[in-house]
């Protein structure tokens, strides 16, 4: 009986130590579970024979790299594009083509540690990066705030929502994004107190109620990476005017295979940013 008791204590102790060890690993390596940057620029707008400008901004002692891609004709407005957590801006030209075909300029930037942007990614750095691009558009290019649309896909919804609480854009779009990193972490690691460990929170669900700009939420019921319920929660928490559009397909393909996607985006932007008269 005594040996059994000692064995049970040993097993319980080992379980606790393993649990604490896993907690430590999650805490130390959480950035690597959130950010998946690549540095190689595999293609540029020149591949599509588009005009574009290279942009480099100083951000907290580091540099943030971006492209400004003008519309082929008189622009209806300008999209500030915040991409997802993997790759870099060179992987997003198919998305930019949609906005370009709709008549919009686009500026797309890389977070710290992505592409040609120096430094390391973090929640704080992502917010600084998007602020630098807003400053570029409004101050350097003198584009009125009510001609700028904020667009964030997946991770990009975090900095997009943060900026939307600080400025007054014409509208903003949150596509396939999460309510918060805490909600995502709880879904993936339900046995761990991940909320207490998080350094990068991206608490978008608490920010959208503060935003007064019109918002279009886009999400797919088939999304296996960021559950559809996250999009629904964000929509419910948002203030009017707001709209929800369903995609088809998984996380990284919905906007490509949903034939009604460009029209839904165009209808929303036409409603809140009319085409200028020639």
Quote the CA–CA distance of 137 and 237 in Å, as a whole number. 29
Catalytic annotation present for 168: no
Measured at the CA of 165, the angle between CA 154 and CA 236, to 5 degrees, comes to 60
Measured at the CA of 244, the angle between CA 187 and CA 158, to 5 degrees, comes to 50
Catalytic annotation present for 154: yes
Catalytic annotation, pick one of 180, 251, 258, 272: 251
Catalytic annotation, pick one of 129, 223, 230, 272: 223
Quote the CA–CA distance of 277 and 76 in Å, as a whole number. 10
- The β-bridge relationship of strands 148-153 and 242-246 is unpaired
- Which two tokens mark 116? 């040609």
Catalytic annotation present for 101: no
Alpha-carbon distance values, 110 to 40, 84, 113, 119, 149 (Å): 12, 10, 8, 11, 18
Catalytic annotation, pick one of 82, 90, 95, 154: 154
Active site residue ranges: 154, 223, 251
């Amino acid at each position: 009986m005594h040996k059994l008791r000692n064995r049970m204590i040993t097993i319980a102790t080992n379980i606790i130590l393993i649990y604490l060890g896993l907690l430590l690993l999650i805490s130390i390596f959480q950035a690597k579970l959130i950010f998946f940057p690549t540095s190689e620029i595999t293609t540029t707008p020149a591949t599509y024979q588009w005009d574009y400008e290279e942009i480099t901004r100083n951000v907290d002692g580091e540099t943030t790299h971006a492209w400004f891609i003008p519309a082929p004709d008189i622009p209806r407005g300008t999209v500030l594009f915040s991409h997802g957590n993997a790759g870099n801006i060179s992987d997003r030209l198919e998305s930019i083509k949609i906005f370009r075909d709709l008549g919009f300029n686009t500026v797309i930037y890389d977070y710290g540690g992505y592409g040609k942007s120096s430094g390391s990614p973090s929640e704080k750095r992502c917010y600084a990066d998007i602020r630098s691009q807003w400053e570029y558009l409004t101050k350097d290019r003198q584009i009125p705030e009510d001609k700028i649309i904020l667009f964030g896909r997946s991770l990009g919804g975090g900095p997009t929502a943060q900026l939307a609480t600080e400025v007054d854009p014409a509208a903003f779009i949150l596509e396939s994004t999460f309510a918060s990193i805490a909600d995502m972490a709880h879904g993936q690691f339900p046995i761990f107190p991940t909320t207490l460990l998080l350094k990068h929170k991206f608490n978008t669900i608490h920010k959208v109620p503060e935003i007064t700009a019109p918002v279009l939420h886009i999400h797919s019921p088939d999304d296996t990476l960021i559950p559809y319920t996250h999009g629904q929660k964000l929509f419910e928490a948002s203030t009017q005017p707001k709209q929800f559009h369903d995609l088809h397909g998984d996380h990284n393909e919905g906007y490509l295979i949903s034939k009604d996607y460009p029209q839904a985006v165009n209808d929303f932007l036409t409603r809140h940013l009319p085409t200028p008269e020639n």
